Amino acid sequence: MSNPAGSSPFIPSSSSVTKVMMTVVLALLPGIVLYIWLFGWGILTNLILTTTFALLFEWLMLLIRDRPVKEFLFDGSAIVTALLLGLTLPTLVPWWIPVLGAFFAIVVAKHLYGGLGYNTFNPAMAAYAVLLISFPLEMSLWSAPLVSQPETLGLLESVQYSFTGSLPTGLEFDALTSATMLDHVRTEVGLGKAVDTIEQADVFGYVGAAGFEWVNAAFLLGGLWLVYKKIISWHIPVMLMASLALISGACFLIDGSQFINPLIHLFSGATMLGAFFIATDPVTAPTTSLGRIIYAAGIGLLIYIIRIWGGYPDGVAFAVLLIGLTVPLLDYYTAPKVYGARAKYEKS
């Protein structure tokens, strides 16, 4: 469009994509710090790998696609994608998992669909799903939280492990890993055990999963700050949590020996990260308030269904991707009525 400067408004927009993305990064920080503190340096290794390679792939794709590199490379969107991917990966994966994830997220899920703003699927979640399906073994290498497992790797040891797969002498691999709480519940309930006996296991924390409950709480705080800063609207996180709580609460009330209580669902796995940071990705979420409410309710429901009856211990990625398919439909049918559309001539 020629000469938009000649056309009002003449007050420049104070908002920018970079500002939005960097606020999201800031909001993620407390959770990231707590996560590293509780689960070891492997997370930082993952985050550094995903971020570096995401930026590298972004730069390459911008060159190939002949887009202005300076403006797009530092718009922050690739960094947010990389952080979300890095945060969802298990803590003890080999180096090529985050690199492959960054490749799929940036090159396939983002740029092959048209780049920033045009991707149909959440790039981080698409990459996560691909990794989970393709490399189920590597994608289950979760480290135990430090609260229950004193053995841990230092920063350099983590890097060394990531690239060579070798552990420091005297440290057994099994001593580091542990099934996640959601995984544990799945297996034990599957074996026919009652929930109250399972809950004695040390993978449980005060309200949710040991360690993860604190990380979830930190993401909840960061997310609330984003709502306060008006970067995201309340609709998606609130409805996602409400629907997850409602369905898990209903099941818990029906049979408390089979189903864990809703609070545990809210404070375990990727619930808070999903509610405030993943499902709220503007590009792949609906744009209308009603659309967002339906979308988030659907995700909450699907997370629960996958966690309880599906093939995976957590379901945030698949729920976001599957419900994401309905977004164009939701946007179309939930368009608000314009001003005056309901008003009629009033007879005096």
- Indicate which single residue of 12, 170, 192, 311 sits in contact with other proteins (rule: CB under 8 A): 12
CA-angle at 79, arms to 159 and 219, nearest 5° = 85
Give the nearer residue to other proteins in terms of CB position, either 37 or 113. 113
- Two tokens at 78? 């690739």
Does the footprint of other proteins cover residue 170 (CB under 8 A)?
A: no
Query: Shortest approach of other proteins to residue 3 CB, angstroms?
Result: 9
Ordered DSSP codes for 151-219? ----HHHHHHHHHH-PPPTT--HHHHB---HHHHHHHHHHTT--HHHHTTSTTB-SSSBTTHHHHHHHH
CB closer to other proteins out of 21 and 47: 21
Residue from 120, 160, 288, 326 binding other proteins (CB under 8 A): 288
Cβ count near 143 (within 10 Å) = 24
Query: How many chain residues bind other proteins (CB under 8 A)?
Result: 47
Among 41, 57, 72, 295, binds other proteins (CB under 8 A): 72
- Angle of helix 42-64 relative to helix 96-103, nearest 10 degrees, comes to 30
Minimum gap (Å) between residue 317 Cβ and other proteins: 20
Q: Is 328 in the site for other proteins (CB under 8 A)?
A: no
Interacting residue with other proteins among 137, 191, 254, 338 (CB under 8 A): 338
Binding flag, residue 174, other proteins (CB under 8 A): no
Q: Going residue by residue from 231 to 260, which x/- string records binding to other proteins, judged by CB under 8 A?
A: --x---------------------------
Residue count of the chain, please give it.
348
Q: How far is the CB of 221 from other proteins (least distance, A)?
A: 22
Q: Which is nearer to other proteins, 166 or 348 (CB)?
A: 348
Plot region of 40 (φ>0 → left; ψ -120 to 50 → alpha; else → beta): left
Eight-class DSSP state of 278: I
Cα gap 77→82, rounded to integer Å? 9
Rounded to a whole number of angstroms, the minimum distance from the CB of residue 90 to other proteins is 30
User: Should residue 196 be labelled a site residue for other proteins when binding is judged by CB under 8 A?
Assistant: no
- Smallest distance from other proteins to CB 58, Å: 14
Is cis: bond before 30, omega within 30 of 0?
no
Say whether residue 348 binds other proteins (CB under 8 A).
yes
Binding of residue 66 to other proteins (CB under 8 A): no
Beta bridge partners of 204: 209
Of positions 50, 77, 180, 248, contacts other proteins by CB under 8 A: 77
Query: Which ranges of the chain would DSSP assign to H, the alpha helix?
Result: 17-39, 42-64, 69-73, 77-88, 96-103, 123-134, 155-164, 173-176, 181-190, 195-198, 212-228, 235-254, 262-266, 271-273, 289-309, 316-324, 327-333
| 116 is an interface residue for other proteins by CB under 8 A | yes
Interface residues with other proteins (CB under 8 A)?
1, 4-17, 19-20, 68, 71-72, 75, 77, 115-118, 233, 282-283, 285, 287-288, 331, 335-348
